[in-house]
Amino acid sequence: MKNLLLVVILLSISSCGLAQGFEITSLQESYKGLIGETLKAPVRFKNTTEKPITLIIRKVNGQIGSTQRHYFCYDNNCLDQKVEDYVVKIEPGQVLNNFNVVLEAGLVSGECTIKYVAYNKSNPGQSIEFGLNFTVEEKPEKQNIYSSRFITIHDVYPNPVIDHAVVDYRISSDQVKAKIVVHNILGNVVGEYSLPTMETFVRFRTDDLSAGIYFYTLYIDNEGVMTRKLIVRK
């Protein structure tokens, strides 16, 4: 009798595993960033069946700040923040890469936890629940990395960076021509950004760069005056 009961339990567990139809292969539950940053949380799903499935990923609950924005992205294609369901077809054995839950950190520090459920559209009983914790901290006091009579440059933030970095600056003369050039460890230029006099910050994208170490150089009137390290993470 005990052996029969054990067989039934094992068969039940096996049936549940097969019936699931998909699994999460990669998930980090907690993320931390600074005010004004964009936090990306990659979630990887795999179709474990021999047939295509349509997966629905839904935000279930969780309050965010009034200055924050939450949405789903696949590659660089992002849904409107009002859309709470992401629908995608996954082929047999396929891992859904490049899917991200995104939180724009807003203007106020704090913490929030957001709950989600992913389920098979044709069989909603096949579902997985998961949660993500986001912590937003105050920006550290800005540090001047270069200062002269006509121009002041603050250090880049965030650093390490995931998708974009920001440099705050101030230029008090129209005669100053300044730019920032980003290059890899081989010295190849991967980005060049002018610093207009009428602006106070420049944002440069890093989401198309591979993870690794880069350098950014401040040029004033085509002369390199300062170089700093920039770390890109994925």
**Structure letter (DSSP) for residue 195:** -
Mean pLDDT value across the chain: 87
The answer to whether residue 161 scores a pLDDT higher than 80 is yes
Per-residue pLDDT at 149 = 86
Residue 171 CB burial class (10 angstroms; 0-12, 13-18, ≥19): buried
Name which of 121-125, 126-130, 141-145, 187-191 the model is least confident about.
Answer: 141-145
Tokens describing residue 138 = 């105050």
Contact indicator for 115, 62 with CB cutoff of 8 Å: yes
Tokens describing residue 225 = 């005056």
Contact indicator for 126, 2 with CB cutoff of 8 Å: no
Domains of the chain: 22-137 (2.60.40.10), 144-232 (2.60.40.1930)
Per-residue pLDDT at 234 = 74
Per-residue pLDDT at 205 = 87
pTM of the model: 0.61
pLDDT tens string 110-131: 999 999 999 999 999 999 999 9
> At 138, is the pLDDT very low, low, confident or very high (cuts 50, 70, 90)?
confident
Per-residue pLDDT at 127 = 94
